Amino acid sequence: MKKIEAIIKPYKLDEVKEALVEVGIEGMTVSEVKGYGRQQGHSELYRGAEYVVEFIPKVKLEIVVSNDDYLHRAIDAIKSAAKTGKIGDGKIFVLPVEHVVRIRTDEEDEEAL
């Protein structure tokens, strides 16, 4: 089992979610994060002077998948839905998962997903 962590642009969330649902991913967890990277933050005004905001709002998606098939489908779905081609589109990280439990049913591992 693998865990996908994808950092994407916030306004892409809806499209990415739909792309994932389309390839059969039925569960995911989302959170609000701030990113630091090559993308330059926008400048803001403060009392008559401009300054640059360094941390940029991003959304982090966490999806645990049971096998490589789902893994690749999910990665492809995220890649195509989240891409704008402009700097700051984000990253996808894949981490190993050793064990999964569904709290409601006590189901484990592949069955819990």
Partner 1 sequence: MPELSYALDTLFALFAMTLIIFMVPGFAMLEAGLVRSKNVAAVLTVNTMIYAVASMFFLLVGYSLAFGSWENDTMSKWAAFLFQMAFVGKTVNIMSGGVSERVRIVPLMLFTVVMAALIYPIAVNLTWGANFLKGTALDISAMHDLAGSTVIHSTGAWALLAAILIIGPRKGRYTPNGTIRVFPASNIPLVVLGAMLLWIGWFGFNGGSVGSISSKESADAVALTIMNTNTAGLAGAIVVALVEYIRYKKFDITMILNGALGGLVAVTAGADIFDIYTPILIGAIGGLIVVFGVPFFDKLRIDDPVGALSVHLLNGVWGTLAVGIFADVSFFAQLKGVLVIGIFAFISSYVVLYAINKFVVFRIDAESETEGLDINECGLESYPEFTRTI
Sites of contact with its own copies (CB under 8 A): 2-3, 5-8, 17, 26-38, 54-55, 58, 60, 62, 64, 75, 78-79, 82-104, 106, 112
Residue 10 binding partner per list its own copies, partner 1, ligand ADP, none, with a CB distance cut-off of 5 to 8 Å that depends on partner kind: partner 1
Q: How many CA atoms lie less than 13 Å away from 35 in the CB half-sphere?
A: 22
* 51 interface partner picked from partner 1, ligand ADP, its own copies, none, CB below 5 to 8 A per type: partner 1
Give CA–CA dist 6/4, Å, rounded: 6
- Least distance (Å) from ligand ADP to the CB of residue 93? 7
- Other CB atoms within a 10 A radius of the CB of residue 40 amount to 12
Q: Cβ of residue 48: shortest distance to ligand ADP, in angstroms?
A: 29
The minimum distance between CB 48 and its own copies, in angstroms, equals: 23
Query: Quick check: 53 and 62 in contact, CB under 8 A?
Result: no
Residue 110 to residues 13, 70, 101, Cα–Cα distance (Å): 26, 12, 9
Minimum distance from residue 21 beta carbon to partner 1 (Å): 16
Question: What residues from 31 to 60 belong to the interface with ligand ADP (CB under 6 A)?
Answer: 35-39, 56, 58
d(CA 45, CA 22): 42
